[in-house]
Structure 1
Amino acid sequence: MGAPSTARGLVDWSRVEIAARTMAPRGGPSAPRASLSAVVELLRCGAAQAPERVGEMTGLSRAARDAGSGRVLVVDRAGLVRATAGFLARLLDGLPAPPAGPVARRAAAWEAGAALGALSTRLLGQVLPAIPVAADAGGADGGRGTGSATGADGAGPVAEARTGGPGAERPRLLLVAPNVLALQRRHGLDLADLATWVAMHETAHAVQLAAAPWLADHLVARLREALGAVVEAWPRGGRLAGIASVAWAARPGEAAGLVGQPGLAGLVELRATLAFLEGHARAALDGVTPARVPSAHVLRAVLDADPAPAPGQGEERGIGQGHGRGPFAGLASERLLDSARAARFARAVVERAGHEGLNRAWASPWALPTAAELGSPEAWLERVGGGPH
């Protein structure tokens, strides 16, 4: 008997977390319970203070207040996998797909779980937009489950810093405590400053969603278009691993083999948008000075480094490549070079037209910079009508 007729049914979601644990069996760095709990508390405090700070730095104070009422979850690696798998399942829901047998669904679960497990060791945070829930996620509940937020020893529940109104569809901001601790140890960073920085970076992505109410739907639609191309190619021998690869913005050369030439142009622009969101967040944090975060210059040098570490050798940022890797932060390490280019774009626009000029991007999908414009800030400003401040 075949699986359900939507693309969600192509994956056995009950097995995704098992596969992810196999790929990344360690929950995070070992540390005393008190130390692990301190990381969680620092991230929660950083998330509580971040909206006001980001609003001041970007000129998006109203959007920042709105973002401040969203959901903030401090999670462990298993919690990140669970939430991201739930998001991916909901993206696939509604896409028509051929029926899949149990063997194919298990194979797809292994591929998706392996990809998510690898990512779970690298992301510092991620923002996931709200997607209406059509049905139970079949094991990928998108973050309702609990788990350790404090590392390999399983101590402590997932910590929620703030929630919106009952039943409200809100983006979720995830902060990955064990990865923050691992990065701090690797580079000898100040833990309190790092937690503050990561929280501000991810909050910048939440503010983007609040500043542009159309943005979540726009990105979800573009992601579904790309995923639809992968699903369509599946009966012709395509690999369902492409689902995770496209969702996390594979490199153009890889993407051509996953979505085909017809879907490549759309994927290139999707990558450009995701890169711009990361670049904007980096430019926003240029306003952080040592007066507010004493080790700001050190953190900026470490976190804005262009080269991505090899899998398993470093943590990164993203919404959708940077602190997080979700569809809004920088969902994959391959996008780090895109993010560096987009950060240069954002900084050039701010230098010429201020944050007010850069904020023209939130007017409509039309106002987002194209892939070509990321290399030509002047062309984008001319098109959207921005001028010197």
Structure 2
Amino acid sequence: MLPSLLDWAEATRWGIRYAHTRAVPALDIEQIDLLHLLVRERAHEVDPVVREVAQLGADLPAPVVDVTSRKRIVEASLDSMRAIADPHTFTLASASRFPNLVRRRLWAHNLGATTGLYAAKTIGQHELFIPPAHTSGRTWVVGPNLTALVKRLGQRSHDILNGVLSTQLTSRTLFEGLEWVRPYALSLLDTYIREIDGYDKAFMKAIERFSTFLNDANAPVGIEPYDWGNVVFTPRQVRAIYAGQALMAAIDGYCTYITSLVCNAMDLDGAFVEQVLASQVAGHHVILRLTQVLPGMGISRIDATAGYAFMRVIAQHGGVDLVNKMWEAPTTLPTIDELTNPERWMERIGA
């Protein structure tokens, strides 16, 4: 029987090392306590507004929002990835041409680098894929990164903190308030991985792209659309890739849209919040950290703003009620083609 897909302890060590490549603002105990108090107070104010404007998550308990370190974000991200990847150890390891020890250490380094560079920049994260019986549902603000932002922006950081919390708590209303979203996201990844056995050429291509993360965790790592000469996929894999990208684009766009409504309701500078968050990694999809290092996940026919543009169009036609029709079931989600053609989606659902 194969051991775990990679050396997760080594991945954690590398992740923590990369997480501290950016300077961490020094805080004393009193400042840390004040930061925890501030974040919890703001979350208490923001959460009811999110639920009111989103019209979702009314039955959810009060959110658990804590300030955490870059180290803990690395650990939590890798724990989530392990929960996703380890059930597929045999399939994934069999697709690699590297000897077992080399593969385990190579993947540990590169996945650690990915999560570390992400942790060095992200402001907040809603935990998604750790099994629900453990810690799923926590929402975190990364203390050092928020502090650096506060020092840079001064008084305007009040708007940014509220915007970060709005984004993460909106994600929570989807993943914790709707029973099908989390299983659906995982089912798409499962479909993709189950059919990867025998496509080791794709893995070799993915490993070549790992090095891009050493300089920039947000660097594009995919191949050009329809460049099938480099990577081979089954039709089911292609459908899973595009369905996953459509889901993530819809979630990103929805969180941005609801945050804009929250900013209006709380008299915040929405344009400023959107601008700053777009330049940061306000992460609530740890699955992206894994899919970006799997072959083919970079193939996309949409850009990063497609989800928000889609939300704005359908909101103009029917407000939040129409927007929320997306979340009735997987079949009411927009397809990757409908994201750039909202009228086609509205016609399909009978709006």
Q: Per the shorter chain, which TM-score range?
A: 0.7 to 0.9
Which of 208, 229, 232 is the matching residue for 1:260? 232
Question: How many pairs does the alignment contain?
Answer: 327
- Aligned partner letter, 1:77: R
Match of 1:31 in 2: 26
Alpha-carbon distance in 1 for matches of 2:42, 2:185: 27
Once residues 281 and 353 of structure 1 are traced to their aligned partners in structure 2, the CA distance between those partners, rounded to angstroms, is: 17
Per the alignment, in what secondary structure is the counterpart of residue 199 of structure 2? helix
Alignment correspondent of 1:155: none
**Residues in 1 aligned to 2:192 and 2:209: alpha-carbon distance in whole angstroms:** 9
Residues 44-100 of structure 1 deviation map (CA, whole Å, 9 limit, x = unaligned): 22333332111111122xx1441x445434221111110010010010122133476
Tell me which of 233, 255, 261 is aligned to 1:281: 255
Q: Given the two structures, how large is their TM-score scaled by the length of structure 2? A: 0.79
Amino acid at match of 1:318: G
Match runs of 1:158-237 below 5 Å: 167=133, 170-188=136-154, 190-228=156-194, 233-234=199-200
The equivalent of 1:157 in structure 2 is none
Q: Which residue in the other structure is 2:107 paired with? A: 108
Higher helix share: 2
Amino acid in the other structure paired with 1:353: G
* Aligned-residue RMSD, C-alpha: 3.5
TM norm structure 1: 0.72
- The change in CA–CA distance for 1:86 and 1:330 in structure 2 (over 3 A counts) is closer
Task: Name 2:310's counterpart in structure 1.
Answer: 345
Mapped contact 2:122–2:281 kept (Cα < 8 A): yes
Q: How does 1:121-140 map to 2 (within 5 A)?
A: 121-132=120-131
Given that 1:70 and 1:170 are in contact with CA atoms closer than 8 Å, whether structure 2 keeps it comes out as no
Q: In the TM superposition, what are the counterparts of 1:1-389 in structure 2 within 5 Å?
A: 3-4=2-3, 9-26=4-21, 28-33=23-28, 34-60=30-56, 63-66=57-60, 68-95=61-88, 96-97=90-91, 98=93, 101-132=100-131, 167=133, 170-188=136-154, 190-228=156-194, 233-234=199-200, 238=204, 241=207, 251=222, 253=224, 260-262=232-234, 263-289=237-263, 292-304=266-278, 315-320=280-285, 326-327=286-287, 338-386=303-351
Corresponding residue SS for 2:266: coil
Cα distance in 2 between the residues matched to 1:86 and 1:378: 40
Does structure 1 retain, via aligned residues, the 8 Å contact 2:39–2:65? no
Q: CA deviation at 1:267?
A: 1.1
Q: Percent same amino acid among aligned pairs?
A: 21
Q: Which letter maps to 2:79?
A: G
1:24·1:118 contact (CA, 8 Å) conserved in 2? yes
Letter in 1 for 2:325: R
CA distance in 2, matches of 1:242, 1:199: 36
In structure 2, relative to structure 1, the CA distance for the partners of 1:329 and 1:17 (3 Å cut) is closer
Q: Quote the offset at 1:204 in angstroms.
A: 0.3
- The separation in 1 between residues aligned to 2:291 and 2:33, in whole angstroms, is 27
Please state whether the residue corresponding to 1:286 is helix, strand or coil: helix
Moved more, 293-302 or 224-233: 224-233
Structure 2 CA distance for partners of 1:236 and 1:358, relative to 1, 3 Å: closer
